[in-house]
Amino acid sequence: MAGSPRCARALLVALAVGAAACTASSTTDVVPTSDQTTVAPTPTADAVPTPTADALPCPDLALGRPFATVADPALTEISGAVASPTTPDRVWVHEDSGTAPVLHQLTLGGATEATWQLDGVDAVDWEDIAALPSPPALLVGDIGDNRRVRTSVVVHRLAEPATSGTGPPDATIELRLPTPTNAEALLVDPRSGDLVVVTKDLAGDAEVLVAAGVALADDGTVHTMEVAGTLSLGLLAPVLAGDVAPDGHAVALRTPSDVLWWTVGDDESLADALLGRDPCRLPSTVDVYGEALAILSAPAGYLLLGEGTNPAMPVAR
């Protein structure tokens, strides 16, 4: 969200808190889990039929308290997070535009364990990070565009670093857009290699863009994204972050007040799951600066992160 006027963000804070107060039963900071089908995406006309929500139960997760906080006071613009493909309870995060192209590995307690700088890379507007479990790789999405002038965006792929250091990405994949747009959610399907970008819109109409099977594409290759459909999430529900479970059987998106969760069938693509049925509404915090979401495993759950000095690290498990 870097580059947006502060007054607009302050207005969005007030409106998001007000909207959450209208939907929450007794609090304004955590969304209850009892109403799990109130957010309804509109399927595309050619959406593949999928199992009903009753056949795909919502996970029973709760936010643990107290929340840990990020220890490093310099990490004030966190805009992407993903669980380490190899080390339990570790996440990789990065900051927004205007900062160095550096990845930081954090514990769930907030301590920094490693950093990795990508050589030869400009961080134009890094907005999200994803991972592949095998071989273990990180994919950094330079996909933001507040001015909506970029005709293409890029994803940098690198093997997960084992220690702190520097080095170039293994590949930079260019994604041509159907039209210039702004996005803060990058999804990678570990089964098919699909790259999916979900756009950000204050009206809550999020396009689902897909580049099929290109996550392991060669360096310098160019691929065209196709519009799979549009999610209708409601006014003041822009998509701020997203992630995919390591086995590809769950996908989640974050808005200022919700974590939206879809279970993904064995023969289903991420786009089909997103566009084919209502999501579960899982516990979250109201945070218009909350631009990071990482799905965790063993045990399953997710981490939320946002901007500011020593931001909180809510974990749901």
DSSP state of 63: B
Tell whether the model's pLDDT for residue 8 goes beyond 90.
Answer: no
Q: Cβ neighbours of residue 90 under 8 Å, at least 6 residues apart?
A: 83, 84, 105, 106, 107, 108, 113
Confidence (pLDDT) at 159: 98
Side chain identity, residue 281: R
pLDDT, average across residues 200-215:
97
- Whether residue 3 is predicted with pLDDT greater than 80 in this model: the reply is no
Comparing 43-57, 189-203, 211-225, the range with the smallest average pLDDT is 43-57
Q: What is the pLDDT of residue 97?
A: 84
What's the pTM?
A: 0.85
Q: What is the mean pLDDT of residues 128-133?
A: 98
Under a CB-based contact definition with an 8 Å cutoff, are residues 153 and 201 in contact? no
Q: What is the mean pLDDT of residues 162-172?
A: 98
| Residue percentage of the chain with pLDDT more than 90 | 80
> Are 156 and 118 in contact, with CB atoms under 8 Å apart?
yes
- What local confidence, expressed as pLDDT, does residue 57 receive? 83
Confidence of residue 25 (pLDDT cuts 50, 70, 90): very low
**Arithmetic mean of pLDDT, 13-30:** 42
Question: Are 39 and 260 spatial neighbours (Cβ–Cβ below 8 Å)?
Answer: yes
Contacts of residue 113, defined as CB under 8 A and 6 or more positions apart, other chains included, come to 90, 105, 106, 107
50 pLDDT more than 80: no
Task: Name the strands in the sheet holding 301-305, side by side, starting at the edge strand that comes first in the sequence.
Answer: 292-296, 301-305, 315-316
| Cβ contacts of 241 within 8 Å, gap of 6 or more | 80, 81, 128, 184, 185, 253, 254, 290, 291, 292, 293
4: pLDDT strictly greater than 60: no
Give per-residue pLDDT as tens, 59-89.
999 999 999 999 999 999 999 999 999 999 9
Which of 34-43, 95-104, 152-161, 283-292 has the least mean pLDDT?
34-43
* Straight-line distance from the first to the last Cα atom of the chain, in angstroms, rounded to the nearest whole number: 27
Per-residue model confidence (pLDDT) at position 298: 84
Give residue 259's pLDDT. Answer: 98
Residue 40 has φ and ψ, to the nearest 5°, of -125, 105
The residues facing 167 across adjacent strands are: 118
User: pLDDT category, 98, cuts 50, 70, 90?
Assistant: confident
The answer to whether residue 42 scores a pLDDT higher than 60 is: no
Question: What average pLDDT does the chain have?
Answer: 87
Dihedrals phi, psi of 65, to nearest 5 degrees: -130, 150
Spell out the domain ranges in the chain. Answer: 6-316
pLDDT single digits (tens) 245-275: 999 999 999 999 999 999 999 999 999 999 9
pLDDT over threshold 60, residue 14: no
Q: Is the Cβ–Cβ distance between 313 and 305 less than 8 Å?
A: yes
Between 19 and 165, residue with greater pLDDT: 165
Question: What phi and psi values does residue 306 have, to the nearest 5 degrees?
Answer: -145, -165
Nearest to 159 by CA among 137, 177, 139: 137
What CA–CA distance (Å, rounded) separates 307 from 161? 24
Domain at 6-316, CATH from 1.10.150, 3.20.20, 3.90.1570, 2.120.10: 2.120.10
